[in-house]
Chains A and B, each alone.
Chain A
């Protein structure tokens, strides 16, 4: 037992000398996580915003309605409407200073009400693509809407236009127009708004909170860091072999188990440090319940030790250090790809996700996602913990076997 603790202390002291490597492993999730979060969840990017110039030569209630329609709701966040004259508007659109220039001609309202042809002139900026298209589509919709409104509410609109502004009799007239419009809407409602879909509003289930896309990336990114760090830590077996210290270990009486267990626990401590920092940042950003932190960290650490054990076993099975590095690198990237580190398993096609969940890291990512997104804490089942334990023990068993069958001799 004393040698086990000595081995942990020894490896931690050695890794403290090589803290740059630990920082690099830590930087993997921070950099990649930051980039992905800013891409899928960020709100710092500027939305496109254009200017629509309107020359309202009609200057009536309806022409004002058309001009105002462009600055309503979400459209108003995209388009800024500025009134102008024909000359100034033409000059600005020709200079490329606006996304569009709309001319509402004199007599527009009369023509609309009399169902006579009328021409609205819309000039768009050819240097822009998105905003002029939006303006064109909105104009088409407005004109269609104007036509149908005129067909249904033509009489009421005539009365509104004829009404003199101010006075008590006007209030009565406006009220009667409103009642008439409401009656027409009520009469047409069954035809215009058939209940095509019956909507039932239900409370969301308690254990299924909504999950942001960035949160789905978090487990994969953390496991990516765990994979890189456990592989790097496992490379220490070759470093010890080159140092000759493995050979000296074999000279010593029966200390292999203490050495291997100490090495695994020291690796676990470093992985736990990396996991803790990345988890705390993730928990703060996604506002997760802190009760989930201990089980998540325990899962990451146990997964890291299991991966360390197997990377160590694979490294020891290789005939040279270069072959060992090549072999683990060739394994690492496909596993990261399939195991949900580059794309969340939920975003992958079903068949790839099914394969991914059967890879060691995919299995770990899947369970960590479950822990982070479930309503309660400690949701990972005992069977999964047992699988991780078996992985760690079997990997370390192969390491012990290789140490006794020649790996220590250089």
Chain B
């Protein structure tokens, strides 16, 4: 349904999207994950036709975005990261206007607008101006404007940024409803929980490059059963590393240092909670001191940390 092949977008020396390829299927949600500035939105803008890619090929519902832009755009519904609404035009007129922009006319348009208002839960506020809406309601209307023309492929660019938990849940339901109708959805986010909840498959992108791809289960398997242990305190560089190495050798532990700084140390190891006293002792013997500990079970967030050595929201 959506195919991206070797997509590159370059601004002078800066490569914002570097050879990204993926495919998204009908009735599935494909997650594009990465921290802010990773290149997700640039990739989305290239797919939607807002940006001209430097190289690569994008096909939407069988139409080449560069060569057949009209047909490709007609098959795409975009929900941009920033709100894209006429705040001084009633909600129903916003939907009508964008429906007409995609070629809907007459009774078909009216029927669809009424349907979308019901779907996004704004039926009773149809004639109100969006400037009087809450942030969550505006987000839902923003979503509605993207689906009013029944697109077979949808691009959702961080649709939950700045949304309260209740509205976020409502948006998740909307996405799931669209998936159930057979829509192919590309969903960008830097919230791994969202990806784990919604996405059938994901690609992790950092510095414009795709660093991992697969289903959520496949990516979790890459991490194995290892927990992530984050320690804060004081960690002398050489002795701490040696102490962790010695601990692994003595106890036969599969332990790995992901990142080390003077005030923090991040490790991955299996059954971390059972080995905490030994880890603390080793650090203490190396002249270090642990003041704060956090332990995380394996998830996409820890996978990102493992792959890049940094937090997703840094």
Query: A254 to chain B: which residues have CB within 8 Å?
Result: 69-70, 73
In contact, B78 and A251 (Cβ under 8 angstroms): yes
In contact, B102 and A244 (Cβ under 8 angstroms): no
In the complex, which residues 389-410 of chain A have their Cβ closer than 8 Å to any Cβ of chain B? 408-410
Query: B74 to chain A: which residues have CB within 8 Å?
Result: 253
In contact, A18 and B88 (Cβ under 8 angstroms): yes
- Which residue in B80, B83, B103, B145 is a CB contact (below 8 Å) of A253? B103
Query: B84 to chain A: which residues have CB within 8 Å?
Result: 243-245, 247-248
Taken residue by residue from 76 to 110, chain B's Cβ proximity to chain A (1 for < 8 Å, 0 otherwise) reads as 10101011111111000100111011110100000
Query: B188 to chain A: which residues have CB within 8 Å?
Result: none
- Which residue in B50, B97, B100 is a CB contact (below 8 Å) of A251? B50
In the complex, which residues 3-26 of chain A have their Cβ closer than 8 Å to any Cβ of chain B? 3, 6-7, 10, 13-14, 17-18
B49 within 8 A of A: yes
A249 within 8 A of B: yes
In contact, A245 and B101 (Cβ under 8 angstroms): no
In contact, A251 and B76 (Cβ under 8 angstroms): yes
B48 within 8 A of A: yes
In contact, A252 and B73 (Cβ under 8 angstroms): yes
Determine how close the nearest CB of chain B comes to the CB of A46; give it in whole angstroms.
50
B129 within 8 A of A: yes
In contact, B85 and A245 (Cβ under 8 angstroms): yes
In contact, B48 and A251 (Cβ under 8 angstroms): yes
- Which residue in B45, B78, B89, B101 is a CB contact (below 8 Å) of A14? B89
In contact, B85 and A255 (Cβ under 8 angstroms): no
Given known A244-B82, A245-B84, contact A251–B96 (CB-CB < 8 A): no
Could you tell me the distance between the alpha carbons of A243 and B87 in the complex, rounded to whole angstroms? 8
In contact, A253 and B102 (Cβ under 8 angstroms): yes
Number of residues on chain B facing chain A (CB within 8 A): 32
Given known A248-B145, A250-B50, A409-B50, contact A14–B88 (CB-CB < 8 A): yes
A114 within 8 A of B: no
In contact, B49 and A248 (Cβ under 8 angstroms): no
Could you tell me the distance between the alpha carbons of A255 and B93 in the complex, rounded to whole angstroms? 17
Can you name the residue of chain B whose Cβ is closest to the Cβ of A248? B84
A162 within 8 A of B: no
In contact, B100 and A247 (Cβ under 8 angstroms): no
B51 within 8 A of A: yes
Given known A252-B73, A253-B73, contact A244–B85 (CB-CB < 8 A): yes
Could you tell me the distance between the alpha carbons of A254 and B68 in the complex, rounded to whole angstroms? 11
- Which residue in B70, B82, B97 is a CB contact (below 8 Å) of A10? B97
Query: B93 to chain A: which residues have CB within 8 Å?
Result: 10, 13
Residues of B participating in the A interface, judged by any CB pair closer than 8 Å: 45, 48-51, 69-71, 73-74, 76, 78, 80, 82-89, 93, 96-98, 100-103, 105, 129, 145
Q: A17-B88, A243-B86 are in contact. List 11 more A-B contacts (CB 8 A).
A: A3-B101, A10-B89, A244-B84, A245-B85, A247-B50, A248-B78, A248-B84, A250-B50, A251-B50, A253-B70, A255-B101
**Interface CB pairs A-B, < 8 A, 24:** A6-B101, A7-B97, A10-B86, A17-B89, A18-B88, A244-B80, A244-B84, A247-B50, A247-B80, A247-B82, A247-B84, A248-B101, A250-B49, A250-B50, A251-B48, A251-B78, A252-B98, A252-B102, A253-B69, A254-B69, A254-B73, A408-B50, A409-B45, A409-B51
